[in-house]
Amino acid sequence: MGQRSVCPARAVRSMEVAVVANKSRLSFMLAALRIDPYILAMLGTVIAASVLPARGGVAVGLHTATSVAIGFLFFLYGTRLSTRQALEGLRQWRLHSLVFTATFVLFPALGLAGRLLVPWLLTPQLYTGLLFLCCLPSTVQSSIAFTSIARGNVAAAICSASFSNLIGIVITPLLVATFLATKVGGLSLGSVRDITLQLLAPFVAGQLLRRWIGEFVTQHKKILGPVDKGSILLVVYTAFSEGVVAGIWHELSPASLLRLIAINIVLLAIVLVATTVLARQFNFSRPDEIAIVFCGSKKSLASGIPMATVLFSAQTVGLVVLPLMLFHQMQLMTCAWLARRYADHTATPTISGAPSDKRPPEPDQPQLNHTTGASRAGRHRQRSNPRGRTVQTAMNSASDNSRM
């Protein structure tokens, strides 16, 4: 009897251990793949809009709520971005010029070259989204987070990413008006007016009020963060609802979706290679190179979706933002891997005779003790500690990467 009562208890404990182990494996896989939980939330929103799209009066109410949410989003962006930091960073004008060129010259040039892929690889609607993606500014949070993990120039990343977002409020609509109005169509003077009223005016108001409310917004980031994300999910749901009603999924086949993913991969790879090569050609230090690569290769999802809602018609905006949503996840996964590579390479001592890449100097060698064993132990700790700190920094920063 006693033996029978013990066996079920052991079985229950074994099952509990197995459940915990499976959860640990799943968490490890998600962390290794760098799947952004916010992207999963967006995919769920897209599915919800596809199954239960808003119609009639509900759609009209959501459209009004979306306009208010977009204005509030850009008001918050204005209160968070420090104009002083962006302007103070202009002392490193060579670095910022290269990031600016990658963001607003190289990317749009590649987007225009993508016109050659229509219609045999891209539909006109998906090409519009690809070109719109190439006109967007860089991200702020993820650029800074990955630069920090890779042991790059964090101060330059803060200034460069902030400056990109500040100037992107004006440059992105101008680029879209120049390229899409003449080549794709669908953009009017009314859209420029909407950009001014819904995006630029709230952003400027936030900048003007930053002196009084900026500290409050910073201190209550945990409360206002879900408001940001919830507002963008509302915009996504409204956009895809109107697209579903207009028959958006009839224009998108699985084959065209796979081709779009492949084109996004190639686009990101070209920009990453180009920024790395240019940074080394102009003899930037390794920390500066890291800032250039991570600030110059990213596109802002948080700015892009609201802008697309203002710039494009309700029936087409769903397909327009699809390339951006895919690119966002790709840049997070790729840059997380690349940041660890940079950190590991920086932590590795320079081989004698190898060319210097201006990395920070290694810590002083430990003094030799009377025994060679103590000396070897000191050198072993010296080699192992930097890598341990890098891995720990990457693990601690993983949660920040889902905000970009």
Per-residue confidence at 73, pLDDT binned at 50, 70, 90? confident
Q: What CATH code is carried by the domain that includes residue 174?
A: 1.20.1530.20
Is 11 a member of any domain? no
User: Cβ neighbours of residue 270 under 8 Å, at least 6 residues apart?
Assistant: 110
Is 355 a member of any domain? no
pLDDT digits (tens, 9 = 90+) for 43-52: 899 899 889 9
Q: Cβ-count burial of 194 within 10 angstroms (0-12 exposed, 13-18 middle, 19+ buried)?
A: middle
Per-residue confidence at 40, pLDDT binned at 50, 70, 90? confident
Tell me what the pLDDT averaged over the chain comes to: 77
Length of the chain: 404
Provide the CB-side half-sphere exposure for 198 (13 A, CA).
Answer: 21
Query: How much is the average pLDDT of 90-110?
Result: 93
The total domain count for the chain is 1
Is 58 a member of any domain? yes
User: At residue 198, does pLDDT exceed 70?
Assistant: yes
User: At residue 259, does pLDDT exceed 70?
Assistant: yes
The H helix count followed by the E strand count for the chain is 17, 0
Query: How much is the average pLDDT of 103-127?
Result: 94
User: At residue 289, does pLDDT exceed 80?
Assistant: yes
User: At residue 346, does pLDDT exceed 60?
Assistant: yes
CA–CA separation, 148 vs 236, rounded Å? Answer: 31
Instruction: Look up the domain containing 227 and give its range.
Output: 35-347+388-403
Is 13 a member of any domain? no
pLDDT of residue 245: 85
User: At residue 23, does pLDDT exceed 60?
Assistant: no
Is 254 a member of any domain? yes
The sign of the CA dihedral 127, 338, 389, 361 is negative
Is 233 a member of any domain? yes
DSSP type of residue 250: G
Determine what percent of the chain is predicted with pLDDT higher than 70.
Answer: 72
Per-residue confidence at 203, pLDDT binned at 50, 70, 90? confident
- Element holding 93 (H helix, E strand): helix 93-101
The mean-pLDDT minimum among 82-96, 224-238, 359-373 falls in: 359-373
Is 27 a member of any domain? no
pLDDT of residue 107: 97
Is 155 a member of any domain? yes
Determine what percent of the chain is predicted with pLDDT higher than 90.
Answer: 31
Query: How much is the average pLDDT of 88-93?
Result: 74
pLDDT of residue 22: 53
- Smallest CA-to-CA distance from 325 within 227, 198, 232 is with 232
pLDDT of residue 29: 52
